[in-house]
């Protein structure tokens, strides 16, 4: 057996190094776990300062001992390559683990163990944890805003149909898949608009009319985000092409449009669309506030989408343009079949980032009187019967936004992998 060297572990005597290091790491994590959950310290015999730092010290030593290159063990090599490349990274990894363990008991207590969910009044919340009764009582308002309770089935039906139609792209044969772009860009938005206008708004087919001012909650967040995503992408794409155009007039118009919308804050844009814009319309012409808000947000976000797509266009080598021209392709045919597919693949992360920012910007519409989910939370927390429970409401909203944004992020990542090409 080769002489042991704990300062520079080698693959010889792998088992000894592995057992020794793992024991020290386990002991460090166990001490933090017992201290967090049961207020017990294995190293209580040491001075307070040392007993606080000792788990970190022995854990770092343990990670150093198991830091063996090309050990042949997949899990060990994965840990060493990602979390244990050097002592500094080892300390950071342990600190993150210790912090997670430390906050877990209080988090669990507040979220679950000491939380209240029964009852219908503020008095039912007697524990020290979260009052989920508040969320339960206000759930309808958080989902639908001031939309009449007896008519909320219309919102549910509209969204279920839209979700079902969104999966149509997975059904057609190979011959029909070439028309999917036409379906998602033109046909699907038209269907969505008709459903929302006639089913949710009503006023036709015997359905009771519901003013858009009564819309609210998470359903309004989805509606605004959905239509803004649909409208801002094609507008941004045309602006990106216009900014790179050889026609000076078109190029300067595109540049002016982009820089104008990027130079003003969104809250100003919303205020202008809601308050100032109607003043310039003819007296007999009416445009709903929600429509104005969606148009304003779409134009605002289109400027950012345009810059992201322009980055993808600039990243393409000039040879791609020359190759398309050599095949006799005109401007639009070249961009539709050769340039844009490649450019868009390069900027999927940037486009996803812009879309995520758009979804998180929707709470700003409360400044024009449209109460989406955060607006309803602001209304609920001022209710005299439920004062003091704003924390639960904002945690609830944060979880919902995190789920939405995480789902979009994972979908964009899957698109990256699907369309990844070696360059």
DSSP states of 65-133 as a string? HT--TT-S-HHHHHHHHHT-SSHHHHHHHHHHHHHHHHHHHHHHIIIIIT-B--SSSGGG--SSS-BHH
User: Which percentage of the chain shows pLDDT scores above 90?
Assistant: 26
pLDDT at 31 over 70: yes
371: helix, coil or strand? strand
More confident residue, 180 or 335: 335
pLDDT at 327 over 90: no
Q: What is the pLDDT of residue 378?
A: 87
More confident residue, 299 or 206: 299
CA distance 42 to 105: 19
DSSP states of 318-357 as a string? HHHHHHHHHTT--HHHHIIIIIHHHHHHHTHHHHHHHHHH
Report residue 260's pLDDT band, with 50, 70 and 90 as the boundaries: very high
Report residue 303's pLDDT band, with 50, 70 and 90 as the boundaries: very high
Q: What is the pLDDT of residue 251?
A: 92
CB neighbour class for 354 (10 Å; exposed up to 12, middle 13-18, buried from 19):
buried
Mean pLDDT of the chain: 86
- Taking residues 173-185, what's their average pLDDT? 70
Report residue 124's pLDDT band, with 50, 70 and 90 as the boundaries: confident
Q: What is the pLDDT of residue 203?
A: 76
- Taking residues 387-404, what's their average pLDDT? 90
Cα-based torsion angle of the residue sequence 56, 62, 64, 70 in order, rounded to the nearest 10 degrees: -140
pLDDT at 151 over 70: yes
CB neighbour class for 28 (10 Å; exposed up to 12, middle 13-18, buried from 19):
buried
pLDDT in tens, 285-294: 778 888 889 9
pLDDT at 9 over 80: no
- Taking residues 281-309, what's their average pLDDT? 88
User: Which percentage of the chain shows pLDDT scores above 70?
Assistant: 94
Contact between 164 and 202 (Cβ < 8 Å): no
Q: What is the pLDDT of residue 219?
A: 92
Q: What is the pLDDT of residue 283?
A: 74
pLDDT in tens, 94-118: 999 999 999 999 999 988 888 888 8
Instruction: State residue 42 phi and psi, 5-degree precision.
Output: -65, -30
Q: What is the pLDDT of residue 187?
A: 84
Cα atoms found within 13 Å of the Cα of residue 84, Cβ hemisphere only: 20
Q: What is the pLDDT of residue 258?
A: 93
Query: CB atoms < 10 A from the CB of 350, how many?
Result: 17
pLDDT at 25 over 70: yes
Q: What is the pLDDT of residue 174?
A: 63
234: helix, coil or strand? helix
- Taking residues 172-185, what's their average pLDDT? 70
Report residue 381's pLDDT band, with 50, 70 and 90 as the boundaries: confident
CA distance 309 to 137: 45
pLDDT in tens, 214-242: 898 999 999 999 999 989 998 999 999 99
- Taking residues 382-407, what's their average pLDDT? 89
pLDDT in tens, 33-52: 998 888 888 877 777 777 77
pLDDT at 18 over 90: no
pLDDT at 276 over 70: yes
CA distance 406 to 415: 14
Sign of CA dihedral 302, 406, 340, 243: positive
Q: What is the pLDDT of residue 3?
A: 60
Q: What is the pLDDT of residue 29?
A: 92
CA distance 26 to 412: 38
More confident residue, 121 or 401: 401
* Selection from 47, 52, 11 nearest residue 31 by Cα: 52
Report residue 382's pLDDT band, with 50, 70 and 90 as the boundaries: confident
For residue 295, give every residue at least 6 positions away whose Cβ sits within 8 Å of its Cβ, in sequence order, or none: 231, 273
Q: What is the pLDDT of residue 5?
A: 59
Chain centroid offset of residue 138 CA: 24
CA distance 104 to 85: 27
């Amino acid at each position: 057996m080769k002489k042991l060297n704990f300062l520079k572990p080698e693959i010889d005597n792998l088992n000894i190094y592995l057992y020794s290091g793992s024991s020290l790491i386990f002991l460090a994590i166990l001490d933090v776990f017992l201290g967090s959950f049961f207020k017990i310290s294995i190293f209580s015999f040491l001075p307070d300062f040392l007993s606080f730092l000792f788990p970190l010290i022995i854990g770092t030593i343990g990670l150093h001992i198991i830091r063996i290159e090309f050990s042949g063990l997949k899990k060990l090599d994965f840990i060493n390559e990602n979390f244990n490349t050097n002592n500094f990274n080892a300390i950071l990894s342990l600190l993150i683990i210790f912090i997670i363990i430390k906050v877990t008991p209080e988090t669990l207590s507040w979220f679950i163990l000491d939380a209240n969910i029964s009852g219908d009044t503020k008095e039912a919340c007697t524990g020290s944890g979260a009052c989920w009764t508040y969320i339960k009582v206000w759930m309808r308002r958080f989902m639908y805003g001031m939309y009449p309770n007896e008519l909320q089935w219309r919102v549910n039906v509209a969204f279920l149909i839209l979700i079902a139609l969104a999966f149509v792209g997975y059904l057609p044969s190979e011959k029909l898949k070439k028309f999917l772009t036409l379906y998602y860009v033109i046909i699907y938005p038209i269907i969505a608009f008709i459903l929302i206008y006639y089913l949710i708004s009503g006023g036709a087919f015997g359905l009771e009319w519901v003013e858009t001012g009564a819309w609210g909650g998470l359903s309004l967040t989805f509606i605004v985000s959905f239509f803004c995503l649909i409208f801002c992408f094609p507008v941004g794409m045309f602006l990106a092409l216009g900014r790179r155009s050889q026609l000076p007039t078109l190029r300067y118009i595109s540049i002016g449009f982009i820089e104008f919308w990027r130079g003003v804050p969104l809250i100003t844009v919303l205020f202008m669309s809601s308050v100032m814009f109607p003043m310039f319309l003819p007296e007999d012409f009416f445009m709903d506030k929600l429509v104005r808000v969606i148009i304003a947000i779409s134009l605002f976000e289109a400027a950012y989408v345009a810059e992201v797509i322009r980055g993808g266009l600039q990243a393409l080598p000039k040879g791609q343009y020359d190759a398309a021209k050599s095949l006799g392709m005109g401007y639009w045919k070249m961009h539709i079949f050769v340039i844009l597919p490649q450019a868009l693949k390069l900027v999927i992360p940037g486009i996803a980032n812009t879309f995520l920012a758009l979804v998180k910007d929707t709470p700003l519409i409360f400044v024009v009187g449209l109460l989406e989910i955060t607006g309803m939370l602001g209304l609920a927390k001022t209710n005299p019967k439920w004062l003091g429970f704003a924390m639960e409401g904002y945690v609830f909203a944060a979880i919902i936004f995190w789920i939405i944004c995480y789902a979009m992020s994972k979908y964009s990542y899957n698109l990256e992998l699907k369309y990844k090409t070696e360059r």
